[in-house]
Structure formats: structure tokens, C-alpha cells
Amino acid sequence: MNHDDGNIRLSPPGLPRSCSPSSSSPSISQQTSTIYHIYFNSISDVNFTITKSPEKRRPVYHVQNSYFTPGTPDMTLHAGPDQSGPILGCCKFVLFSTCTKIGLGISEEDTIWEDLAWVSKDHSRYRYEIDLDMNIGDGDIAGPTSLSAARSGAHRRAFLWKPTHSVGVEESMPSKFSPSNYKLVDEETGEVVAAFANNRFKSLDE
């Protein structure tokens, strides 16, 4: 039995969207976005499986947590159903720091490191910069041979993760009592490009 921990909807920047900070729509447009479902591998496990709608049962990504293993990233994202798949990225939580290190790449030598930084005293808002328009393939199997080569022609964009009680995933509205629902906002345009809904207490799926 797997625990449905949350859903995330991603909309590609630059495409029309029905949801923005001023929109009355409770969810991001289903026509221009993709829904991902995040599951604990088991109720007692710390690792995650990520599936993609409409085929919810087929694992697309696996997240391996290694908080207490010295010399390894705290989290590693693999393509496929388990940790034997190609590495797409990783994460390091820096002790006594205001940022988390996000690594994008398929090898240690070619990893590009970015900062996910706290921008509010209560740690409720986070800022992330990334190079967009890189040639990184289809994203379901593995990244390019060299991310450094893929950066040519890319442009820099910044995004903000903000708590939300008005932007949901699919037709659902986020709980007004949950602090774990977020929207991802393009810092330059103010558009909502993703939403995360925490379903921790709502559903159990086999």
C-alpha cells in the first residue's frame, strides 16, 4: 500500500495559462500542464515514487533519501522506478545555511549547482534561479550527455515558491488549515507555473 503524499502540476513558462495571481480559477489549466503524483514507497519508508497522469501506476521517477549516509546527497532523483535508474539531479541540505543546494546533472563532474534560498523569516517562501531553454531531452529517461554544453543559448529565470490557499491541483482547493500547499510563481511575470498540493491525510492507494 502506498501513501499518496501530494500532487504537483507543472505548466511550461511562456504558454497560455488560466491561472495567475489575479485569476479567479482555483487550479492551473489542465490543457497546458502535467500532473505528477508523489507517493511514499511504503508508510514507513522515506523514499518516494513519482508517477505522471493519466497513467498513475507507472513510476516515472524515484527519489532516494540518504540523510544519514556520509558523502552522499541528502536526496537523489532517478529516472525510472528505483535507484538503479540514471541520476537526473540531487539535493544537499546545508547545515546552518539559508539555502539548499540543488544539483542538476547525470554525473558528479557535469553537475550544475543552484541555490534554493529562503526569502522569508518564517521559511515559508523560497527563491530558485535556473537556466531555461536548455537542450535536455525528453526528461523521462535521462538528461543530455553534457549539461554544460546544453546551457549554450539558455536564459536565466527566477521563481518563487509561495504558500497558497487559493491555487489547487486538478479540481481540488487546498485546505485553509494546511501550511504545505504551494504555488510556483515566475518572478519576472508574476504568472503561476506550478502548484503543489499536500494530500498527506486524505488518501491511501495500493
Which of the residue ranges 19-28, 35-44, 57-66, 135-144 would you say has the lowest mean pLDDT? 19-28
Candidates 139, 159, 35; CA nearest to 88 is 139
Q: Where are the domains of the chain?
A: 33-93, 119-200
Judged by DSSP in three states, 149 sits in helix
**Rounded-to-integer distance, Cα 198 and Cα 177, Å:** 11
Question: How far apart are alpha carbons 78 and 89 in whole angstroms?
Answer: 7
Degrees to nearest 5, angle at CA 106 with 198 and 113: 70
Whole-number mean pLDDT of the chain? 75
Rounded Cα distance between 76 and 93, Å, is 12
| Contact present, 184 and 193 (Cβ < 8 Å) | yes
Q: What is the DSSP letter of 187?
A: T
Residue 20 reports pLDDT greater than 50? no
Q: Are 114 and 121 in contact (CB under 8 A)?
A: no
Share of the chain above pLDDT 70, in %: 63
For 69, half-sphere exposure in the C-beta direction (CA atoms, 13 angstrom radius) is: 8
pLDDT digits over 91-149, tens only?
A: 999 887 888 999 987 777 778 899 999 998 887 899 999 887 665 554 444 444 466 66
Alpha-carbon distance of 57 to 46, in angstroms, equals 19
Dump pLDDT digits (tens) for 146-176.
Answer: 666 666 667 889 999 998 877 766 666 666 6
Q: Which H or E run contains 120?
A: none
Report the C-alpha gap between 28 and 8 in whole angstroms: 10
Is the whole-model pTM more than 0.85? no
